[in-house]
């Protein structure tokens, strides 16, 4: 099992990392939110442990961005912030569990096992439109039985379109779903990513699935 630990306090990070390794976890450590974002983009993690008060990009912002980008990896917040309001905010932002410091390591391990067990039990069903399939549990995309490599943003857009297959989605709707408020509605970022997806999903196939609806947006359709 591979775990990402996002913690800026060196002693705490070392303590948790060493303890997890003794229990046969593979651990990567990020000391700030930006580093964590980069690691999530490059690696596949089974669990993410996040402190809220971290530099460059705080834990809540990191969680919000990960969820908006389609990351469904279980997230456990481990923070010195311990008010009911802090816990509610963390969970509402997208965390799956919230532990406060100081903590018992045995409890951390138990909560991790619970989240990992829950992840296995709640594996999401496969999405399929014609010969295009997307596995939300493994984030694998295939077209005609062929694996398709896509980025996190491309995945988020494709999953949104597949869950709404046959429905016309405006650029604004896609923008709000994938990027939230990170871009204004005047940007062409949606068009850029749709073009990337077309090159990967449609280019080598006779049946084109991603269609432009002039002056409105896009629709994903299978065979008529």
Domains of the chain: 2-121 (3.40.50.2300), 127-220 (1.10.10.10)
Instruction: Kindly state the average pLDDT of the residues 178-206.
Output: 83
Mean pLDDT across 22-33: 90
- Both tokens of 101, joined, read 């410091």
At residue 181, the pLDDT reads: 52
Tens digit of each residue's pLDDT (9 = 90 or more) over 36-75: 988 988 788 889 999 999 998 898 999 998 888 778 889 9
- pTM for the model stands at 0.57
Residue 145's SS3 state is coil
The whole-number pLDDT of residue 118 equals 78
pLDDT of residue 123: 59
Q: Which residue's entry shows tokens 């996190």?
A: 152
Per DSSP, what are the bridge partners of residue 67?
Answer: none
Residue 43's pLDDT is 80
Lowest mean pLDDT among 57-66, 155-164, 180-189: 180-189
**Among 58-67, 174-183, 192-201, which is the least confidently predicted range?**
174-183
pLDDT of residue 219: 96
Which pLDDT belongs to residue 200?
95
Q: What is the mean pLDDT of residues 144-172?
A: 90
For residues 3-26, average pLDDT: 92
Q: Is the pLDDT of residue 21 over 70?
A: yes
CA distances from 115 to 71, 76, 131, 142 (A): 15, 8, 32, 28
Name the average pLDDT for the chain.
Answer: 88
Give the range among 38-42, 146-150, 194-198, 211-215 with minimum mean pLDDT: 38-42
Kindly give the residue spans of alpha helices, DSSP state H, lying in 23-104: 33-42, 59-68, 84-93
Phi and psi torsions of 61, nearest 5°: -65, -40
């Amino acid at each position: 099992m591979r775990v990402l630990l996002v913690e800026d306090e060196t002693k705490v990070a070392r303590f948790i990392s060493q303890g997890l390794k003794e229990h046969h976890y593979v651990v990567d450590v990020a000391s700030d939110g930006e580093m964590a974002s980069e690691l999530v983009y490059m690696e596949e993690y089974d669990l993410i442990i996040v402190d809220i008060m971290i530099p460059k990009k705080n834990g809540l912002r990191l969680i919000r961005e990960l969820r908006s980008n389609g990351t469904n990896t279980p997230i456990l917040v481990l923070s010195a912030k311990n008010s009911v309001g802090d816990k509610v905010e963390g969970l509402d932002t997208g965390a799956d569990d919230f532990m406060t410091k100081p903590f018992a390591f045995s409890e951390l391990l138990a909560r991790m096992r619970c989240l990992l067990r829950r992840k296995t039990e709640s594996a999401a069903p496969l999405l399929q439109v014609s010969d295009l399939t997307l596995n939300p549990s493994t984030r694998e995309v295939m077209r005609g039985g062929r694996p398709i490599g896509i980025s996190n943003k491309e995945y988020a857009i494709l999953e949104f379109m597949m869950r709404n297959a046959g429905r016309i989605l405006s650029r604004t709707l896609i923008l709000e779903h994938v990027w939230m408020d990170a871009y204004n509605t005047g940007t062409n970022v949606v068009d850029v990513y749709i073009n990337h997806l077309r090159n990967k999903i449609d280019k080598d196939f006779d049946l084109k699935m991603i269609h432009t609806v002039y002056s409105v947006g896009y629709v994903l359709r299978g065979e008529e």
